[in-house]
Structure 1
Amino acid sequence: MIYTGEALGGALYLEGHLHRGLAGAGGELGHTFVQLDGELCRCGRRGCWETIATLRWLRGEAAALGLPDPAGMNARRLVAVAGEGNETASALLDRYARNVSVGIANLQQTMAPNFFILHGDVVGGGPVMTEAIDRHVRQLVPTRPGGEVEIVAGDAEDVAALRGAAGLVLSEALQFAV
């Protein structure tokens, strides 16, 4: 599961179980490196996936490109502006989708999950955004027999992030010593 919005995170389900990681920090996917010497991240490192695939990045790029109301830009609006024939918005949509795809491709090559559920902002872009992400992932990930990658849309709202956080808290609280 990949969540995009103000931040970028996710959850890994391995062999039917949520991978919690050390101290419950298993979903910090936004802080994996995707650009050596890239932009400074809020975490203090450079080139984190979060620096190129969140609303902060999208809004900064929209402002730099002169798109209307960049402070309110999100995937839904970007798809709408691109759909009106704005070539600058279309190019930005493709870059946003590619940037999300880079992290998915890295995760797929590292852990080999073949099923990804998108949540958050990119889902608001509907099938146009989901299909663009899928297209870029397919370009970045080599096809292997039985290894077809599937990208599907989940919730567009922050519900997925809240459920994930609650799940981590509950999984910690309900662990019993054996």
Structure 2
Amino acid sequence: MNMKENRTWNHHVVKEGNKSLVMEMIKNESPISRAAVASQTGLNKGTVSSLVADLMDDHLIYESGPGVSSGGRRPVMLLFNGSAGHSIGIDLGVNYLLGILTDLEGNIIEKKELNFKNHSYEEIEKKLFEVIDLLTSIAPPSPHGIIGIGVGVPGIVDTNGSILLAPNLNWKNVNLKTVIETKYRLPVIIENEANAGAYGEKQFGVGQESENIIYVSAGIGIGVGLILNGSLYKGANGFSGELGHMTIQVDGPVCRCGNQGCWELYASEQALIAKAAQLNLPVPAKQELELTTLISLAENGNQEIITLFEEVGDLLGVGINNIINTFNPQQVIIGNRLASSNRWLEESLNKRVSKQALWFQQNDLQISFSELSTLSAALGVSAFSIENFISVRMQPKSFV
């Protein structure tokens, strides 16, 4: 690279950084004036005005009416344009598929959920396309249209978005990212659903005030997402958080992952259903024994089922206690489908943690159940897609 090319490259890098800085300020602080952006970023007013013009040309921000005056003429205010495009977030579970359409601020415009059982990869792929097609068709008109698709999956995903192993789906080495990108010609992000759920809670849920969060995704299996010092921790190759497969019973039953005595065999939706199947329950012959059925029985006062929920809550506490003693978090959030059973899980879970967690680990510790419930992971991957889109738009126009 010669000196002239180097100067040009450095100019692009500086402009991209400044544009990102201005964009982030407006997105987080809107409505905000140009003068306030300049003051808070340390950039001169001419630079801010030029970058604001670029962002307005790209429909990412817009002007509103005058703000409050500090003595002179009332300033024109700048706002982030959340309607400039839309993102699709998919939570691909073992026995369900939840898709959401959001604007660029994460507001849910539409959602669609499908339930299934023991489907092949081909059958799930077909349902995935159905949901994406539906959400795309009902997206309101916008300057940028659908800006990306994010998919959270219950398995090990590498940093390139390849699904190395999803034991509860019986998937191994599945490149779903390439499949979706080829079909829709859109940027696609594939992420572990617990990582996505942790990020969803940090951005939009009960974790917004905490910097160190353990998110426990309790569905058919158990996944764990880690927010450490305010950032999602994924490990060297993206494989962190597989704590559903930590051993809590030596020589216990064999898990689909190949190990024995994994936590998810005792404290998950599949564990609850397996235990309930051993009881003589008043379930109609044609009705599937599933979580919604058990919740209905518990709501109607079936003490056997309530006791099973309490046992699962206790065993959730066993694993959570181990995680607390390892990471010393501010907050533990229980999400995914079992979070809707919190009224029967909470007491036994908290009792186990207070009994066994080291006393100094419990200082300032908050244990919460997700208010987003099954939406956390879908919101998380939608947010990843939005951030990727905005990052690309921050590049100089000749690079976009």
Q: TM-score range by the shorter chain?
A: 0.7 to 0.9
Higher helix share: 1
Residue type at the aligned position of 1:72: L
Residue type at the aligned position of 2:326: T
Equivalent residues of 2:268, 2:338 under 8 A apart: no
Shift of 1:163: 4.3
User: Residues 23 and 170 of structure 1: is their aligned pair in 2 closer, same or farther, counting only changes over 3 Å?
Assistant: farther
Residue 289 of structure 2: aligned partner: 72
CA displacement 1:52-75 (0-9 Å, x = unmatched) = 11211111100012234494332x
Residue 251 of structure 2: aligned partner: 37
Q: Which of 1 and 2 has higher RCO (CA within 8 Å, sep 6+)? A: 1
Shift of 1:92: 0.8
TM-score (norm 2): 0.39
Aligned counterpart in structure 2 of residue 59 of structure 1, from 265, 270, 273: 273
Matches within 5 A, 1:93-172: 93-144=309-360, 147-154=363-370, 155-157=372-374, 159-164=375-380
User: Residues 24 and 59 of structure 1: is their aligned pair in 2 closer, same or farther, counting only changes over 3 Å?
Assistant: same
User: Residues 22 and 122 of structure 1: is their aligned pair in 2 closer, same or farther, counting only changes over 3 Å?
Assistant: same
In 1, Cα distance between the equivalents of 2:345 and 2:307?
12
2:373 match: secondary structure? coil
TM-score (norm 1): 0.81
Residue 22 of structure 1: aligned partner: 236
Equivalent residues of 1:12, 1:18 under 8 A apart: yes
Residue 32 of structure 2: aligned partner: none
User: Residues 135 and 79 of structure 1: is their aligned pair in 2 closer, same or farther, counting only changes over 3 Å?
Assistant: farther
Superposed CA RMSD in Å reads 2.8
CA displacement 1:74-132 (0-9 Å, x = unmatched) = 2x654543454433222211111011111100101112224101111221114332333
In 2, Cα distance between the equivalents of 1:47 and 1:57?
12
In 1, Cα distance between the equivalents of 2:379 and 2:274?
29
For structure 1, the residue ranges without an aligned partner over 5 or more in a row are: none
CA displacement 1:136-167 (0-9 Å, x = unmatched) = 2222213228724321111221x223345567
Which protein is bigger by CA-based radius of gyration? 2
For structure 2, the residue ranges without an aligned partner over 5 or more in a row are: 1-214, 392-400
In 2, Cα distance between the equivalents of 1:13 and 1:140?
23
Aligned counterpart in structure 2 of residue 47 of structure 1, from 256, 261, 286: 261
In 2, Cα distance between the equivalents of 1:129 and 1:22?
34
Equivalent residues of 1:3, 1:160 under 8 A apart: no
